[in-house]
Structure 1
Amino acid sequence: MSEHRIYGISFAAIYPHYIAKAERKGHTKDEVDHVIEWLTGYDKDALAKTIADEVTMRAFFENAPALNPNASLITGLICGIRVENIEDPLMQQIRYMDKIVDEVANGKKMTSILRTPK
């Protein structure tokens, strides 16, 4: 079975779409960066370097400094699929990022987006 196409796409190709989605709904690049940094552990400089280097989505997550241990608290639908039920770990991480960027765009409170255990 061949690898999913998104794994080979550069993060730099997807990132502008995240920003555009948030900005269309009155939110900012800084908010998007904040949730991506929370999820992956990249800081602003490292995030900028991954964009400049056009790393693939696979490399983006494989080289993430520290995936947030609370990422598994991200639940819900993205593209009609429950993120908590995705079996492929890399695809799940990508969908976690999609989900939290959607939540930024939809105006969800940052304290809710950045999951903390109850």
Structure 2
Amino acid sequence: NVIATQVTSFNAAIFGAICLASRLSSPFHAFVLLEVAAVYFALGPILLAKIRSVPLLVATVGVCCYLLLQLSMTIFWTYVCVLAFVNGFCPLLFVRLQRHKNNIHGPWDEAIVSDFREENGSASSI
């Protein structure tokens, strides 16, 4: 199922790139866009899986904070507040509000397949 999802996502990304490329002025520009899209969408997830690590994330945020602090104190504190809001407060709010979720059932839901043995009341009847 994971492979099917990855293939579907890749196909959707390439389809989007083709739709955008059809609006470009020359075949060369369309080719470049499709080539870049293929590289990003095919190799990007592999590269991100290799470099995704906590120490790299901490180092990147630290360097970003240092550079923003050198630029402006206001921009630095805005960045820190937005980072704390998006990565701290929003997930906490999402988890807290789950109990208020209203689940609406309808014909758009997936079908629930029941086991034949459960319908007859015993597993030994088969």
In the superposition, the TM-score normalised over structure 1's length comes to: 0.24
User: Comparing both chains, which one has the higher relative contact order based on Cα–Cα distances under 8 Å and sequence gaps of 6 or more?
Assistant: 1
Larger radius of gyration: 2
More helix, by proportion: 2
In the superposition, the TM-score normalised over structure 2's length comes to: 0.23
